[in-house]
Amino acid sequence: MDTLKSPAIVILAASALATARRVQQRYPGAEIHGLRGRVEGVERSYREFAEHLRGLYRAGTPIIALCAAGIVIRSLAPALAGKGAEPPVLAVAEDGSAVVPLLGGLAGVNRLARELGGWLAVAPAITTSGELRFGTCLLDPPSGYVLADLEQGKRLVSDLLGGARLRVEGEAPWLEQARLPLHPEGERCLRIDVALGNEDETLLIHPRLLLARCSDFADDLAGRLRDLLATAELAEQALAALLVEGPGRSLPAVERAACELGVPLRFIESTAGLPPARCEAPGLSLHQAASPAAAAAIGRPRGRLSVVGIGPGCADLLAPAVRRALDEAGDVLGYETYVSMAGPYRADQRVHGSDNREELQRAAHAFELAAEGRRVVMVSSGDPGVFAMAAAVMEALEASGDARWHGVELEVLPGISAALATAARAGAPLGHDFCLISLSDNLKPWAVIEKRLQHAAAADLAMAFYNPISRARPWQLGRALDLLRQHRAPQTLVVLGRDIGRPAEALRVLALGELTPELVDMRTLVIVGSSQTRRFPRQGGGEWVYTPRWYPGE
């Protein structure tokens, strides 16, 4: 199984929730997906079971469905195209009394079933014949080893089931526990080797031992490397990494090559610790480590800093790209409240929640961790570029002369900002031109805020106010409202969104004339409509608020 991709735990009814939570304790990154209207208080909700399951399957997400196996089979049937890259799919009895691996034999579904069976103290319903007989899946070697040819593998397993004996050439430590019909003169052979080969009766497994050191970054590096491997009769699948000397930095040609070859790019301090070269070409040399684990320990990746927005607070308003960054993170930084909203985290993830309001210090901490080669995520609520961490990160980077910081792979992943989340709940109050203003005068003079308010009000823009009030800034909102009232009629519509997307969510619509600072706190987003913003009753109570797309003529 792709160890980075957390399984989705899918349930249909609240009666499965207790078992779902037990499963989640085993896989802390996994989210529980519950049927809307039937299951409350879970990380994700969906409307239609079969469609949701197919979506997860197509995205390659491992699925643990706590319901009847039949329902899962019927739901996934239309999506079962080829037996190529499919994620593990398991059905688990609602009460945890049965674990049934259904699909994803090559993606480690039986391994997952054993893990879960062990966790829930039940015997998993393993039905794969080769695996039952031999206690291992020969076609799904552990990480660090790659099967050269799947069809060859299937033939070998069926030969062994038919009574053939197996001799093993090379080091296959994971087979020591297996119950294989081993014999030094076996008719069939399992060879663990970095070299190419195509003898009949032999199943080749390539250990990822080869490290390609590159010092010439010209184009078509992948092609040149393939030529070198072919000349030396070495398998491309035995490649563990591309190595480059020096601190992590952006190297587009090498990154392209690494991507094309499907191996990581890693940086080494010097060539001193490398095993001797096996073969060489100009600007390229191939080194062979003693074991896949030794190969994987050489060098370190280019660090990455993802500055992400988690949206207003609920998981279904968080972008899949952000979810992925969080799943892949080694370190997560940010204001405590938001960091925990984006959880739960796996035991191997380091969480640096802080109360620290010193954004530049936090940005520096993030760059330092990423410069060590770590995958770091900096969490903001809403969008990271709206009165949040992205600008602080940019500011810290621009001011830094540290080449290691500039070498970090930096990305900003957007989120749904509070103004947009609040507007959506109310209807479309920002349906025409609008502006976003922070009423905090911590980092800008109050005079600047007043001037902007005056201009925005005179321009008849709808406005969204962030940071409207706090204990340290008690009078500013009242002063802003006084200014607004000089330009806008008392019946101008106002929307107050408090804790939108969170359990305590509250939405209120009122007129500018009724708005007093006491109705607002720091967890509120204030939208003041333009002269055109309107409202009408919504069925079931409350009202819709919107600003029309058109504007009356002069």
Among the residue ranges 16-24, 167-175, 201-209, 462-470, the one whose residues contact ligand SAH (CB under 6 A):
462-470
| Footprint on residues 298-317 left by ligand SAH (CB under 6 A) | 312-313
| Footprint on residues 517-546 left by ligand SAH (CB under 6 A) | 522-525
22 is a site residue for ligand SAH (CB under 6 A): no
C-beta of 178 vs 317, nearer to ligand SAH: 317
| Footprint on residues 420-439 left by ligand SAH (CB under 6 A) | 422
SS3 404: helix
Q: Which residue is nearest to ligand SAH (CB)?
A: 382
C-beta of 75 vs 381, nearer to ligand SAH: 381
Helix runs in 232-304, H state only: 252-261, 292-296
Among the residue ranges 38-46, 250-258, 379-387, 451-459, the one whose residues contact ligand SAH (CB under 6 A):
379-387
The Cα 79–Cα 83 span in angstroms is: 11
Least separation in angstroms between CB 336 and ligand SAH = 15
What token pair was written down for 525?
A: 């987003």
* CA end-to-end distance (rounded Å), the chain: 64
C-beta of 1 vs 507, nearer to ligand SAH: 507
C-beta of 313 vs 431, nearer to ligand SAH: 313
Least separation in angstroms between CB 113 and ligand SAH = 40
DSSP one-letter string for 138-204: TTSPPTTEEES-HHHHHHHHHHHHTT--EEEES--GGGGGS---B-TT-SEEEEE-SB----TTEEE
Among the residue ranges 44-52, 268-276, 383-391, 510-518, the one whose residues contact ligand SAH (CB under 6 A):
383-391
382 is a site residue for ligand SAH (CB under 6 A): yes
386 is a site residue for ligand SAH (CB under 6 A): yes
476 is a site residue for ligand SAH (CB under 6 A): no
DSSP code at position 276: P
Least separation in angstroms between CB 498 and ligand SAH = 6
Among the residue ranges 150-158, 268-276, 332-340, 495-503, the one whose residues contact ligand SAH (CB under 6 A):
495-503
Go through the chain and tell me how many residues it has.
554
The Cα 256–Cα 333 span in angstroms is: 29
- Note whether 277 and 287 are within 8 A (CB): yes
CA neighbor of 210 nearest in space, from 223, 196, 200: 196
101 is a site residue for ligand SAH (CB under 6 A): no
Burial call 375-388: b when 16+ CB within 10 Å, e when fewer = bbbbbbbbbbbbbb
Name residue, tokens 């992948």. Answer: 222
C-beta of 31 vs 383, nearer to ligand SAH: 383
Among the residue ranges 391-399, 466-474, 481-489, 507-515, the one whose residues contact ligand SAH (CB under 6 A):
466-474
The Cα 402–Cα 129 span in angstroms is: 57
Burial of 457 (0-12, 13-18, 19+ CB in 10 A): buried
Site string for ligand SAH, 181-220 (x = CB under 6 A): ----------------------------------------
DSSP code at position 387: S
C-beta of 101 vs 312, nearer to ligand SAH: 312
Site residues, ligand SAH (CB under 6 A): 312-313, 380-383, 386-388, 417-418, 422, 466-468, 497-502, 522-525
